[in-house]
Structure 1
Amino acid sequence: MSRIVGVHAVLPPYRYPQHEIRDALVEMGAVGPEGRGVLDRIHAASTVKYRYLAMPLERYRTLGGFGEANAAYVSAATELAQEAVRGALHRADIAAADVELVVSTSVTGLAVPSIEARLAARWGLPAHVKRVPIFGLGCVAGAAGLARVHDYLEGHPHGVAVLLCVELCSLTVQRGDPSAANVVASSLFGDGAAALVAVGREHPAARARGPEQGPETVATRSHLYPDTERLLGWDIADSGFRIVLGSDLPDTVLRHLGPEVREFLTDHDLKPADVTGWICHPGGPKVLEAVRETLDLPARALELTWRSLAEVGNLSSASVLHILRDTLDRRPPLPGTPGLMLSMGPGFSSELVLLRW
């Protein structure tokens, strides 16, 4: 087993209510006048009240093509990542020089060298640190990143690893794309970053206790669903990342996620009713309702996920770490009880991480 010993979540400085973002999208031509009514309805149905953006809202009106947007991504992502990892190390009371592995995830911009490489010296990471930058997993990458950190620490029980998730969804804005997928995406996604520090079972911090400490990772499961490649993802165009979002995504979750979760829990002599903390990615209202229905969960089980969706929107891979942080800060479950982190993303795929508080 490995143990999470520090989680830190950060948001960019520009916060806007949903209606201001909606109006700005109309002004910049993201939808035509004929699509205003649809845009209004979808933004209202999203349940998102506020979102944080990498740049001032007026800056998006003059943002050029993919190259300019990606340069803005690298600049803002570097700043947020700097704060996220420093905060997680501080919460964990772990020295940067002790970190052996950094797994970094993002699907909203490209950086070569990768973001963690640009910041390694500033953080004080050792020159021999192992780096695994991940692109392409999208929203599932927060849970998948934790799973891969756990895999490493199982083989390095004295080790220290960092997971960094940085997503600047606003910089993928597509003007002149009236598709339903683009309108839905424009109502949900926000910007943010988060990091966690985990240690192997034989590290001294794995035995410590305190309010800043997190749960143990017990087991993980990945699942790739066949014939679902066009359900969720990007099409890469001259204008950058264009969302692929199938209308049957909630139905896919409803059909497949429940059996997958129940089988995973049964392998550990558990059932959904035993789980005291659900760290669920906020894919959107219809997806969350499908998760609740397929697992027969009480409404309160996903309360922090719904709250995160309302307060900051869907942060892609960073969301589950924000919700984990909120769980630890606001309503930590009883020690010794099971928790479950779950995310879904392009592939179409799901990732399950069994926790013990």
Structure 2
Amino acid sequence: MSVKIIAAAKQLPEYSASTEEILELVDGWMAGQEDRFIRKVKKIFEGAAVDRRYSIMHPEEAFTATSFEEKNDIYSREAIKLGEKVLQNALDKAEWEPQSLDYIITVSCTGIMIPSLDAYLINKMNLRQDIVRLPVTEMGCAAGISGIIYAKNFLKANPGKRAAVIAVEAPSATFQLDDYSMPNIVSAAIFGDGSACCLLSSYEDDNGPEIIDEQMYHFYDAEHMMGFKLTNSGLQMVLDVEVPEKIASHFEDIIHPFLEKNDLRIDDVDHLIFHPGGKKIIKTVEELFAGMGKNIDDTKEVLKLYGNMSSATVLYVLERIMDTNPAKGERGVMLSFGPGFSAQRVLLQW
């Protein structure tokens, strides 16, 4: 029984701003801070390797003192819009009807919705009443691949079925106006809002890269390194400066045994579909692959064009790869990291 990814699609929010435009807003945000600190903050934004960030709200609104309730209301309203649009984009690519879906997974960590997004999409798009729902929260940047893994396992157990994985993230709704800590500043510099969807199938006649294997890698005693703290003003970013070093120290154990399990080496992999966590993490990964004849150019380009959109971002990289129509037999490895601290991996073959 093979499970394949049939289509990947994206949808961006209506608002966006270049780094130069954001820096003008940073000036207002930093009013009253020491000049040396302001220069340091601007360098972080300028050096983030992100040219443009998209947002569910006007950039000026993101730099306004709104309550957790107000920002979460915006998140909920816009998440439904983005989810509906991106699911339709993916269905159009695959030439599927909404009623053909058997399983819907929605992933997000940047807001709170109960009922979850999938319930709204069922009503908005008239999905089947017997569709199986699974909302995935609290897995951060790793959740896009996590959703693919859960869909794969469902489809493997159910031949002739179809699934949608929809990632909608709005880090702008978690920005803390009164927090001048490095985690809040760095997250504001590297993150952007966006949504993505991929469609999977266990129909024999549906065509796309097959999921050969998947596996999680958990870092022991590292739960403090990444996540959100729920405060009265909203979701406050937790981001340890040692994250890139932690990834580097475990990277060989993350990649090579996973490939060896499938009788492969890194030389056998044609496409590296890595989550663009940030400039430092990308640099770390590039250095580890130096001399192996591999590149993560698509990962770098996604970061440059959109920033880190949490769980949705790796699906943007996947879309770029799939749109090139890789040759039959080519292989790809998807990889993302998230709170826990953990890594999620998927091996694909076209």
TM range (shorter): over 0.9
User: Given the alignment of the two structures, is residue 334 of structure 1 paired with residue 297 of structure 2, yes or no?
Assistant: no
2:123 to 116, 121, 136: 121
Partner secondary structure for residue 201 of structure 2: strand
1:90 to 76, 89, 92: 92
Structure 2 residue aligned with 1:10: 11
Question: Can you give the 5+ residue segments of structure 2 that lack an aligned partner in the other structure?
Answer: none
Displacement, 1:257?
Answer: 2.0
Displacement, 1:25?
Answer: 3.2
1:67 to 69, 82, 98: 69
2:348 to 347, 350, 355: 355
- The one-letter code matched in structure 2 to 1:217 is I
Structure 2 residue aligned with 1:211: none
Displacement, 1:26?
Answer: 3.6
User: Given the alignment of the two structures, is residue 189 of structure 1 paired with residue 181 of structure 2, yes or no?
Assistant: no
Give the TM-score normalised by the residue count of structure 1: 0.93
Identity over aligned residues, as a percent? Answer: 31
> What does the per-residue CA deviation read over 1:45-64, in whole Å, with 9 as the maximum and x for residues that have no partner?
21111111111122224351
Structure 2 residue aligned with 1:149: 151
- Report which stretch shifted further, 106-115 or 320-329: 320-329
1:268 to 262, 273, 298: 262
Displacement, 1:300?
Answer: 5.8
Displacement, 1:273?
Answer: 1.7
Question: How far apart, CA to CA, are the structure 1 residues paired with 2:295 and 2:289?
Answer: 11
Are the counterparts in 1 of residues 65 and 177 from structure 2 also a CA contact under 8 Å? no
> What does the per-residue CA deviation read over 1:1-30, in whole Å, with 9 as the maximum and x for residues that have no partner?
211112110101112101222331341359
> What does the per-residue CA deviation read over 1:235-268, in whole Å, with 9 as the maximum and x for residues that have no partner?
1111111111111101111010222210000011
> What does the per-residue CA deviation read over 1:212-239, in whole Å, with 9 as the maximum and x for residues that have no partner?
xx31111100111111011111111111
Are the counterparts in 1 of residues 64 and 177 from structure 2 also a CA contact under 8 Å? no
1:229 to 207, 216, 223: 223
Partner secondary structure for residue 94 of structure 1: coil
Question: Can you give the 5+ residue segments of structure 1 that lack an aligned partner in the other structure?
Answer: 209-213
Partner secondary structure for residue 301 of structure 1: coil
- How many pairs does the alignment contain? 348
Give the TM-score normalised by the residue count of structure 2: 0.95
The 5 Å alignment of 1:201-350 reads 203-206=203-206, 208=207, 214-296=208-290, 301-329=295-323, 331-350=324-343
- Report which stretch shifted further, 281-290 or 31-40: 31-40
> What does the per-residue CA deviation read over 1:294-335, in whole Å, with 9 as the maximum and x for residues that have no partner?
344658620011001001000100001111111122x34322
Structure 1 residue aligned with 2:29: 28
Are the counterparts in 2 of residues 46 and 187 from structure 1 also a CA contact under 8 Å? yes
Are the counterparts in 1 of residues 244 and 281 from structure 2 also a CA contact under 8 Å? yes
Displacement, 1:276?
Answer: 0.7
Question: How far apart, CA to CA, are the structure 1 residues paired with 2:31 and 2:99?
Answer: 46
- The one-letter code matched in structure 2 to 1:14 is Y
